[in-house]
Amino acid sequence: MVNLAAARERLAAVPDPEIPAVSLVELGIVRDLRATDAGLEVVLTPTYSGCPATELIADDVRAALAEFGPVTVTLQRAPAWTTDWITPTGREKLQQYGIVPPQCGSAQAISVVPRLRCPRCSGAQTEQLSRFGSTPCKSTWRCIDCGEPFEYFKPI
Alpha helices in the chain, H assignment, sequence order:
4-11, 54-65, 88-97
Q: How far apart are CA 95 and CA 135, in angstroms?
A: 17
* pLDDT given for residue 143 in this prediction: 95
Q: How far apart are CA 110 and CA 37, in angstroms?
A: 44
Tell me the average confidence (pLDDT) per consecutive run of 10 residues in the chain, 156 residues long: 90 95 97 94 91 93 96 94 94 94 69 78 93 84 95 85
CATH match of 4-81 with 3.30.200.20: no
* pLDDT given for residue 109 in this prediction: 57
* pLDDT given for residue 110 in this prediction: 57
CB 33 within 8 A of CB 24: no
* pLDDT given for residue 155 in this prediction: 82
* pLDDT given for residue 134 in this prediction: 82
Residue 83 DSSP SS3: helix
* pLDDT given for residue 148 in this prediction: 95
- Closest to 62 measured CA to CA, from 85, 45, 79, 40: 40
* pLDDT given for residue 118 in this prediction: 94
What residues does each domain of the chain span?
4-81, 84-153
